[in-house]
Chains A and B, each alone.
Chain A
Amino acid sequence: MKSPDPVEPRAESEATGLPGFRTWTKVYLFVLGSFALWVGLLIALTMTFS
């Protein structure tokens, strides 16, 4: 079976290609921020209507 081993560039230094998110750290922070926002909204929904 073929097992070519293309070498990936260093994972964290690879460009994200996303406008406004030049590093992967910023992408991860955005993901965590949107998660925190959703949890906050769900807590607010729970508090408001319980």
Chain B
Amino acid sequence: MNPLDFIVLIGSMLGIAAYGMWRTRGRRDLNAYLKGAGNTPWFAIGLSVMATQASAITFLSTPGQGYAGGLGFVQIYFGLPVALIIIAIFFLPLFRRLNVYTAYEYLGRRFDGKTRLLGAGLFLIQRGLGAGLTIYAPAIVLSSVFHWPLDLTIISSGVLVIIYTVAGGNDAVTVTQKYQIGVIFAGMFIAFGLLLSKLPAGLSFGDSLALAGGFHKLEAVNFSSSLHERYTIWSGLLGGTFLMLSYFGTDQSQVQRYLSGSSLRESRLGLMFNAVCKIPMQFGILFLGVMMFVFYQFEPPPLFFNDTSRQYLAEHGASERLQALETNFNQTHAAARQQLEQWLTARHNGDAAGAQAAFAAATTAYAQGEQIHAAAAKALSAANPHATTNEADYVFISFILHYLPHGIIGLLVAAFFAAALSSKAAELTALGSSTTVDLYRHLKTGATDGECLRASKWFTALWGVVAIGFALYAHLVENLIQAVNILGSIFYGVMLGIFVVAFFLRRVGGTAVFWAAVMAQALVFALYFNLTISYLWYPLIGCTACVFLSLVLQAGLGRPKQTNASAT
């Protein structure tokens, strides 16, 4: 990073935050603070919903997933369009008609206080933990770039988002997200263009696709019926629909975004904007990773994309072993590259047999390189059992730092920061709102608007501090984006089940659904720790279990005392 990068990074981040605070100065009304001024157009809602879901993790980790695993991850979003249509038809009109601040306020009206608290509690637990991961991701990037202490990076980025979120409330989040996503898209498009320009001169786009396909990186759709395969078209369509329905329909960080629309039309169109654009967007980010894979077949990749891993081995008595591994790795890469160049020549000359033989030799050399990489990861684990051996999160940032020009580096780091702040801000304001509306008002009946406004600001700040604290102690099992999705999958299904009962099963009352939800959540925990099925199935299991148990319990309890018909 040189001074130009710093100017781009600091200028864009502080500028957007300051603009958000200035635009929302003087928000003194609780309704405006929690819901916004009520004049947000559909396009801003659409971008806000998109920015809330797409955190820094999306832009940092997803290209690495494309590099390592190809396009298969895109299937997780196959359930999104149907889920958003269901929300636009059933959830949204009811939330707006009842004029609720939070999704869980609706549960209180439909069922009772304890079910509302349960819904809010499930949200606060999983989103509170998820917020820690959201803030951890850009901290890795910046600590890697600046060689700053990780803790300092987490705290400084967390404090910035707390300041403008607490000051401006919901509208500050929407206003800043619009510009933050502009920075993100600008950075990603420029990175993609520069990556394509850096591919070898004789390698056409068609050659790149053929190369990536030969290494199984373009297998976007997997028709396997195995429950243990993480990403298949079936887990995407079925499990993904339930996951997205749960996230967009019951997670306050999203509900708050689309409820800020000036009308039902604006909110709906904002959701439909995402239903159309999300899959192409995720495909584009994954495809960037696939093209990085092609690029690194002709440029020597480092043995470790995470430079900290290399340094650790070098400094802890394994420098000779490291040097030997690096030498072998570079030799196999050179051999693979030579074969790929022969493949390219044969392909351009129409020599199909020669091309096939050269490609087979290249894949053999590549496999040897992967074995060396696995040996290096094993050596790292032996030297440091707590070291992160999953490299996917470091591939893109390593490429940016080593191959992109100054100014663009600053823009890309700003894009990661923008993505982190935008999703973080939405999470904090949702956590603060839910704590105020669903918990604080219950404990302090008769609280005035002014007291609730002050409480909301304090709770938002408090959740920011909790997220920072969690991020400081986050140890990631897999890569970042998967950790967030797995966490959501464990809690979301039951939450969705409560809402499905609320919307569609009028004869089920609060007591039945409350205990059904508790049992269903216990079941999901038990299954998660005992089965190895894809995490995408847990929202479906949790939701189905909650609905089924609600019906059984209600049958045992007899007719509920009363049901709020206007809330169904």
A residues near B, CB below 8 A? Answer: 1-9, 11-12, 14-18, 24, 27-28, 30-32, 34-35, 38-39, 42-43, 45-46, 48-50
Contacts and interface: CB of A to CB of B under 8 A. Distances in A.
B30 A8 contact: no
B99 A1 contact: no
Residue among B30, B84, B213 with most chain A CB within 10 A: B213
B346 interface: no
A32 B221 contact: no
Contact of A38 (B92, B212, B280): B280
A48 B213 contact: yes
B219 A50 contact: yes
B277 to A, nearest CB: 9
Nearest to A35: B81
A19 B179 CA distance: 27
8 contacts: A3-B99, A11-B264, A14-B264, A15-B265, A24-B268, A32-B82, A45-B71, A50-B218
B299 interface: no
B351 interface: no
B81 A32 contact: yes
B506 interface: no
Nearest to A4: B99
B30 A2 contact: yes
Interface in B381-404: none
Given A1-B447, A1-B449, 15 more contacts: A1-B441, A1-B452, A4-B99, A5-B98, A8-B264, A31-B85, A34-B81, A39-B221, A39-B233, A42-B71, A42-B283, A45-B218, A46-B220, A48-B218, A50-B219
Contacts of A12: 89
Interface in B447-486: 447, 449, 452
B275 interface: yes
A24 B78 CA distance: 21
Interface residues of B, number: 42
Interface of B: 30-31, 71, 74, 78, 81-82, 84-85, 88-89, 92-93, 96-99, 209-210, 212-214, 216, 218-221, 233, 264-265, 268-269, 272, 275-276, 279-280, 283, 441, 447, 449, 452
A43 B441 contact: no
B85 A14 contact: no
Nearest to A11: B93
Given A17-B265, A34-B276, A38-B279, A45 B220 contact: yes
A42 B74 contact: yes
A14 B261 CA distance: 15
Nearest to B29: A2
A-B interface, 7 closest residue pairs, ranked by CB to CB distance from nearest: A49-B213, A11-B93, A42-B220, A35-B81, A49-B218, A31-B275, A46-B221
Given A31-B276, A42-B221, A1 B264 contact: no
B221 A1 contact: no
Contacts of A31: 81, 84-85, 272, 275-276
Contacts of A24: 88-89, 268
Residue among B84, B93, B220 with most chain A CB within 10 A: B220
Contact of A35 (B89, B212, B216, B279): B279
Contacts of B268: 24, 27
Nearest to B92: A11
B78 A39 contact: yes
B275 A35 contact: yes
Contacts of B97: 5, 7-8
Contacts of A11: 89, 92-93, 264
Contact of B209 (A7, A9, A43, A49): A49
Contacts of B85: 28, 31-32
Contacts of A28: 85, 88-89, 272
A49 B210 contact: yes
A49 B85 CA distance: 32
